[in-house]
Structure 1
Amino acid sequence: MIFPATGAFAAPTGPGDSAGASAAQLSETSLRVATIQANLSGETPQELPANLMRGSDRQAAQVADKISSANADVVVLTDMDATQDAVDALNDQYLNNPDDARADVEYGYSYLAVGSKGLQSGADLNADGVIGGAEDAWGQAAFAEQGSIVVLSKYPIAQDQVTSVSQLKWQDVANDMMHHTDFSGVLAASIPVMSTGLWDIPIQYRGEPVHILATQTQPDAQDQEFAKARQADELKVLTGYLAGEDYVRTDEGEQAEGVGEDRYVIAGALGLQENAADRVEPFLQGLKRANALNDSGSYLVPSATWQVLGQGRIQEHPPSSPQPLPGTVPDLVKASSPLIWTDVQF
């Protein structure tokens, strides 16, 4: 028997109503974008799909509860293995499964964002005497797709028009902050500035292009100076990409064109570090979205040309505490990260 992990509920934080209540009405006149830190990952590319195919993964059920409740047009899932088998299993067993108790939600389009996270550095970054482990990759991952980004959409995605910025070297960022770290020489010249990547994923909404900018920046690390400096420059690259700055090069080696007058929504994990607000707040102010919705490090940042109709977050009710049998250890299930959503309109 497949069932939702917990009862999800929505808390609106602006004009409009709770997520899900008016989704059917709003879908004809507004675009609902959501993001969530999915925390769905395995040690190998095959592990997560195998777990999901069983249909009983508690973490996946919690994520699916929130996605179903939000019924967003586009969902950006961070910290998820970006493999087609994992996406298919999530869709078939959790999001669009007629045999479970949650409302089905169908996403006919997806984008698997695979960037620099599992790219090996060729150096012993964790100083364990062995080169080649997960902690020696630039983004600390065991394989390229691990803990990356998956985008689900009800609107067609122009796959051949997606722009990726994951290989841009940190030293090539204008006025970079690398000089605040201990990295130098050949090693410093090899570091991609984006710990995972930045993807510009275009969809067509009401006859106009909309850019979904998906990313997740540097999380906390043992070397705090490194982590803070890298995150600051990742945010700088986001701004530079939007403006088409000369130094921002795509993975094809071309100068980024920017988004011009097109509308966009930045979605993903921008503030995973402690005290990340010190760096994120100036970034938001520069985009004229100082009050952009955020929760637990996830952010939704619409371009200033959008009208925000409503926004909110969805999280679980606190799990119940069943009485364990004598001599047994209770099954403790941690609540997953909240899903946040924003409704925007021309």
Structure 2
Amino acid sequence: MKKYSIIALIAWVFPTMTIAQETTLKIATFNVSMEALNYVAHKRGEAPNISGKTLTKALASDHQQIKNIAEIIQTVNPDIILLNEFDNQNNDHQDLKAFISHYLNKNQNGKTAIDFPYYYQGSVNTGVNSGMDIDGNGEKGKLPGDGYGFGYFPGHFGMALLSKYPINVDQIRTFQHFKWHDMPNALMPIDPESNKAWYSQQVWQKLRLSSKSHWDVPVEVNGKTIHILASHPTPPVFDGPEDRNGKRNHDEIRFWQDYISPGKSSYIYDDKGNKGGIKAKQSFVILGDLNATTVDGNAIKAGISSLLNDDKIQDAMPQSQAGEKHSPENAHGKYHTAFWRMRVDYVLPSVSGLNINNSGIFWPAETDESYRLIKDRKASSDHRLVWLELTTKN
């Protein structure tokens, strides 16, 4: 009698059923710091760009910084990557398409070209004018401080997700418009001198939680769905004793912990009005520059610490020897993901459905030929690309 494997028999009985295959893939996050293009122009004595066209012009000019960023991505060769601080002018995706076709699709310095046939680049809160006095300077509707997120134009400091695997566009959930005050026990900023709310009642009722956006992007990997949970919380600095940015950073991070916890997520609503978080046992990866670390900086550490210690999450704690040498005085230097000596960029997979094989931070040593790619901010970014190699499991 001829023997058949269980999978073969299932496929024969249910020919239209999709059988999830075990797949090994690499998932990365990279704050590409395209804002550095505006920074360089400003340092030359020019007015800061507020039109959003700086990136467009740079992409059309065979720009060395962008070529270096593309070379870094080609070197690591991720299957899925989140780009933070990639502007999204007018939501037309032309800059992202140009980056893919003119830089990633072309070999950089001998590296193999890389293609991402699928991408998602939704709108964000940065530079979206609220018409209110959010920054408390007495003026209403003046960018960048009165945007729902700090920015000079809509889409400034945006995000983009690139993938070699199909994205289930119809099932994407975004939380750009979720109001901060709708989070139970939200850390409302308080003026320590008056002991009153720092924001006016009008601002507090309308202020959105996410400084950019929170996205749940389902990616279909050989019959298995992996939910990419992408965000870029505000830096916990550039404020005062009320710590409004620190508290917002904390709650932006806490949002994800509530989202992955069925017992805590009922208050959450997405931009289509659907409520709740991710279902139990679904596979996910939290990606992004979270602007917080458990050991350094001004962030309220309870937020990031609670997330990293959640029993539904795996933290591989990627490291690099070059990062360690960059901060010899800091015992945590090997975990740093930014030139300015902190761990802020994270790839955090779920325990459910995913195994970690390997991890790393792209941080070449000074003696390495590729050090030229990260030697300073003008070379590429002040952040490092962080990656994990994962294997899906049924």
Q: Residues 319, 136 of structure 1: CA spacing in aligned structure 2 closer, same or farther, 3 A cutoff?
A: farther
Does the 8 Å contact 1:281/1:290 carry over to 2?
A: no
Structure with the largest fraction of strand: 1
Does the 8 Å contact 1:217/1:270 carry over to 2?
A: yes
Equivalent residue for 1:307? 355
Q: 1:213 aligns with which of 216, 223, 229?
A: 229
Does the 8 Å contact 1:292/1:301 carry over to 2?
A: no
Equivalent residue for 1:154? 164
How many Å separate the matches in 2 of 1:259 and 1:275?
A: 33
Does the 8 Å contact 1:32/1:341 carry over to 2?
A: yes
Q: Report deviation, 1:282.
A: 1.6
Q: Report deviation, 1:317.
A: 4.9
After TM superposition, the structure 1 stretch with the greater mean CA deviation from structure 2, 250-259 or 166-175, is 250-259
The answer to whether 1:61 aligns with 2:85 is no
Q: Residues 104, 335 of structure 1: CA spacing in aligned structure 2 closer, same or farther, 3 A cutoff?
A: closer
Q: Residues 319, 189 of structure 1: CA spacing in aligned structure 2 closer, same or farther, 3 A cutoff?
A: farther
| SS of alignment partner, residue 388 of structure 2 | strand
Alignment of 1:253-292 (within 5 A): 253-272=273-292, 274-276=297-299, 277-286=301-310, 287-292=312-317
The answer to whether 1:40 aligns with 2:34 is yes
The answer to whether 1:51 aligns with 2:58 is yes
How many Å separate the matches in 1 of 2:377 and 2:350?
A: 40
Does the 8 Å contact 1:311/1:341 carry over to 2?
A: yes
| SS of alignment partner, residue 208 of structure 2 | coil
Q: Report deviation, 1:172.
A: 0.5
How many Å separate the matches in 1 of 2:208 and 2:82?
A: 22
**Deviations 1:63-119 (Å, cap 9, x if unpaired)?**
212110111100100111135111112112211115753320111111003122222
Does the 8 Å contact 1:197/1:216 carry over to 2?
A: yes
Equivalent residue for 2:175? 165
Q: Which has the higher contact order (CA 8 A, sep 6+)?
A: 1
How many Å separate the matches in 2 of 1:99 and 1:170?
A: 43
After TM superposition, the structure 1 stretch with the greater mean CA deviation from structure 2, 262-271 or 291-300, is 291-300
Q: Report deviation, 1:311.
A: 0.4
How many Å separate the matches in 1 of 2:27 and 2:64?
A: 25
Alignment of 1:243-262 (within 5 A): 243-244=261-262, 245-262=265-282
How many Å separate the matches in 2 of 1:205 and 1:99?
A: 28
Q: 2:149 aligns with which of 139, 142, 145?
A: 139
Could you list the runs of 5+ residues in structure 2 that have no partner in the other structure? 1-20, 39-49, 191-196, 319-334, 339-343, 369-375
How many Å separate the matches in 2 of 1:169 and 1:332?
A: 34
**What residue identity is the alignment partner of 1:312?**
G
| TM-score, with structure 2 as normaliser | 0.72
Could you list the runs of 5+ residues in structure 1 that have no partner in the other structure? 1-26, 321-330
The answer to whether 1:341 aligns with 2:387 is yes
Q: Report deviation, 1:254.
A: 1.8
Total equivalences in the alignment:
309
Does the 8 Å contact 1:218/1:272 carry over to 2?
A: no
**Deviations 1:18-48 (Å, cap 9, x if unpaired)?**
xxxxxxxxx9831210011111146323331
| SS of alignment partner, residue 85 of structure 2 | strand
Equivalent residue for 1:204? 220
Equivalent residue for 2:322? none
Q: Residues 292, 251 of structure 1: CA spacing in aligned structure 2 closer, same or farther, 3 A cutoff?
A: farther
Alignment of 1:216-255 (within 5 A): 216-224=232-240, 225-244=243-262, 245-255=265-275
Does the 8 Å contact 2:127/2:143 carry over to 1?
A: no
State the identity %: 24
Equivalent residue for 2:194? none
| SS of alignment partner, residue 193 of structure 1 | coil
How many Å separate the matches in 2 of 1:130 and 1:192?
A: 17
State the superposition RMSD in angstroms: 2.5
Q: Residues 69, 28 of structure 1: CA spacing in aligned structure 2 closer, same or farther, 3 A cutoff?
A: farther
**What residue identity is the alignment partner of 1:241?**
Y
Structure with bigger gyration radius: 2
How many Å separate the matches in 1 of 2:184 and 2:115?
A: 42
Does the 8 Å contact 1:110/1:157 carry over to 2?
A: yes
How many Å separate the matches in 2 of 1:300 and 1:332?
A: 22
| SS of alignment partner, residue 232 of structure 1 | helix
Q: Residues 258, 53 of structure 1: CA spacing in aligned structure 2 closer, same or farther, 3 A cutoff?
A: same
